[in-house]
Chains A and B, each alone.
Chain A
Amino acid sequence: MSARAPEPAERSDWRGEGVAVSEVAAELRRLTAEHMHHEHGHASTWTLNLIVTPARRDRVQAGLDSLHERIPARMVVLHEHEAERIDAAVTVHCQTGDQGRRGYCHEEIDLVCDRAHLDRAGGVVHPLLVADLPTVVWVAGSDTRAAEAVAPLAERILVDSAAGADAMAALRRAAALRRHGHVDDAAWHRLDRWRKRLAGACDPAPGREVALAADRLEVRHGAEAGVLGLLLAGWAAARLGWRDLRLPPGPEARRGTAVRADGAPVAIDLVPFDGPPATRVIGVTLGAGEREIRLERPLGPRPPETLADTLAGMADPAPGYDDALRALGA
């Protein structure tokens, strides 16, 4: 592997309490300009604006770190506090260019706001965005009001419906956000390979015959991947023309039914398994009488893991997702 040696990094920051957004924007411009005149010569580089809605810091930190390494973005991270004011921290991260080349900078702006400001967060955030770049809103927590407030600024809204405790509620929240723009669900991207594998298994005609005549579907998944099971079942139902999909939660597994286009019933089991990988699908079986397509662990071990992976792999639009949600009644 020809790994590049890490380039030396520099950072500078500014903090303020009870600030106006115009003040934050001015400090951001000042810090950026300072770095441009730095002895190494830095230039700001962005490929997107990223707005992060309030969530536990530890939950978003890994995602932001992956972005720092991979995707130069202007990041505006929202937090909530009780005090009726906005506190701000601006950090400019710069990679120092080697061999006389320019280094590159990108910024993170942390805004700590009261509820009232969060409820109109669109106006708070807007002056801090780089014009003309795509804007992604990452709904990192369950603050739907803040998400609704910034969603109109976004070309894409990134959610992870597998992150919440209530799977169907998470899918309904994702579905509700679709009216603002294109929703990218990280849980859906974790299914990319399974969808490809199911399609691959149906490519020789015998596999296709099984799928079209399927009378049962079983999705085996990790203990924390119930949403993935639901989405895969919803997608299969949408593509195979099943209707009346019902998947009520059970004490151990979701067991439900659907009705094939010819009226025949389909039994569906979403079966959780303890042990790793807790957040992944483990296997899928699509059966028609004696015949079945049975898929186990995928070929490659690396589905999207980080926020940067998900952003890099986003398709436009994510085909099949809306149909899967509709089939699930979300």
Chain B
Amino acid sequence: MSDPPNPFEQDLPRRLIPPTILVICGVTGDLAARKLLPAVYELALGGELPEEFRLVGVARGSDPEHFMARARESVEQFARSGLDADLWGRVIAPRMSYLDGDLTDPELFTRLHAHLDELDAAAGVRSQRLVYLAVAPSLFGPAATSLGKAGLARGSDPQVKVMVEKPFGRDLESSRALDAAIHGAFDEPQILRVDHYLGKETVQNLLVFRFGNGIFEPVWNRRYVDNVQLTVAEELGIGHRADYYDRSGALRDVVQNHALQLLSLIAMEPPATFAAEAVRDEKVKLLRAISPFSAEDVLRDTVRARYTSGEIDGEPVPGYLEEDGVPAGSTTETFAALRLEIANWRWAGVPFYVRTGKRLPVRDTEIVITFRPAPHLPFGPDAGAVRPNQLVLSVQPDEGASLRITAKAPGPEMRLRPVRMDFQYGSAFMRASPEAYERLLLDAMRGDATLFARADEVDAAWRVVDPVLAAWARDEAPLDHYRAGSQGPGSAEQLMVRDHREWRRL
């Protein structure tokens, strides 16, 4: 006989979170300190964690006392609400424990399993287990295998899910190998691939913007849209990440994941529901509809470039090759631009331009939809040129939307001028948005996979960029240069000029 339903659950706005143990492997690392531990704390502060929540930190070379002190420091330093000592002492600290060990040692996971069972026995509950692998991607596969051998993977009771952070491989082949390694121990619904961009409120708002407003959908297609531009620009250089970045480059670091995720949300068909599989099915369909790059396409429709010394905010900054830790003779790109086409009925013939780069003049992530011009202007030649309508969806730092329209300038003459209508998210909703990791951890605990990338999405995204990576690796496309603080390389500008278009100025 099945259990009776929970009599109180019907009134809850969201799915109830069952008792949960969150295991953070690599808990002494940067990701845990800056993002994960503060996110857990904020969730506790907001009353979002279940009554029976425990956190287990796993790392090498620390001990429980140091771990607790360090965790508290991270919250003090990085939590957006600051540390509430009472909450920390009363709620968080008693729910945390630490396990020391080497992630390459399978015995660690046997101890972990025993520890989790002890925690559950002490609390008298059976908790779902989330294992966040906040470690180097090279450890994803071995850790997954060890979790499987320790009985903390497929078929385990209570259920175990594993969370992994991009990069998911460095090309299609390695991504598939990584996927196979994780799938060796886990089924797809147990794997949560984190692309933190998807946890941003404003990225989620893109879906609301598109599908919650009836005025956009009728013009969201090839009949009305001339082109779409997607920009992920950063002022920052590579900081202390030379080792990672030089092996990655702009295409892997941003385009394969963040940019293509954004593009899929902007261009996908409306999902029937907001359920995880419905949304992800549409995203995959869109990614698969992106026309693959041939060798000629790579030469014609892609740009790679590297920054040279220049100025940011009036301060001199070094070129990429002068950055600490960058190997001499590196050919890694810090800027990438692509012209993509989507071969489906909605978008056939509409170019999608994607650009990303470091050391550009501003930090700016935006999507620009430029509409086709009015077919006929009855105002005469003296009215002035009319610029096409442009809808700009800003993701960061100033989240919002603006629409460029044409208006009559005041006066006796018929003079047309472009004007902008602005909506700024921060001024309409003056409420601090939760950090992306708060939302993602909460969704993981709730069992909602909508904002996590599915294996076939990752695969489809790699299939888009893989031919480009391969051609660039063979040096078939020239490596251009751009001055730090400039709008990007001349070749990127040419990519647009050739199509009689221009990038929106950063």
Residues of A within 8 A of B (CB): 1-2, 43, 45, 47, 69-72, 101-102, 104, 192-193, 195-205, 208, 211-212, 235, 239-241, 295, 298-303, 312, 315, 319-320
Contact = CB atoms under 8 A, between A and B. Distances in A.
Given A203-B18, A205-B3, A301 B84 contact: yes
B47 interface: yes
A261 to B, nearest CB: 11
Contact of B82 (A1, A71, A199): A1
Interface stretch (B4-12, B144-152, B164-172): B4-12
B86 interface: yes
B4 A300 contact: no
Contacts of A101: 398
Contact of A195 (B12, B80, B428): B12
Q: Is the interface of B mostly helix, strand, loop or mixed?
A: loop
B114 interface: no
25 contacts: A45-B424, A47-B429, A71-B430, A72-B427, A195-B8, A196-B12, A196-B16, A197-B51, A199-B8, A199-B16, A200-B17, A200-B50, A201-B51, A202-B6, A202-B7, A202-B8, A202-B9, A203-B9, A211-B7, A235-B11, A241-B7, A298-B47, A300-B48, A301-B45, A312-B431
B430 A72 contact: yes
Residue from A43, A204, A315, A320 whose CB has the most chain B CB atoms within 10 Å: A204
B19 interface: yes
A205 B4 CA distance: 8
Chain B: interface size category: 35 or more
A319 B125 CA distance: 28
Contact of B428 (A45, A199, A201): A45
Contacts of A192: 47
A43 B86 CA distance: 42
B422 A102 contact: yes
A72 B9 CA distance: 34
A188 B290 CA distance: 50
A319 B6 contact: no
B127 to A, nearest CB: 10
Contact of A300 (B6, B17, B44): B44
Interface of B: 3-4, 6-13, 16-19, 44-51, 53, 79-82, 84, 86-87, 91, 125-126, 398, 422, 424, 427-431
Contacts of A72: 427-428, 430
A320 B7 CA distance: 11
Contacts of A240: 7
A319 B9 CA distance: 10
A299 B51 CA distance: 7
Contact of B422 (A43, A204, A299, A320): A43
A300 B12 contact: no
Contacts of A199: 6, 8-9, 11-12, 16
Given A43-B422, A212-B7, A319-B13, A300 B87 contact: yes
Contacts of A211: 7-8
A85 B322 CA distance: 75
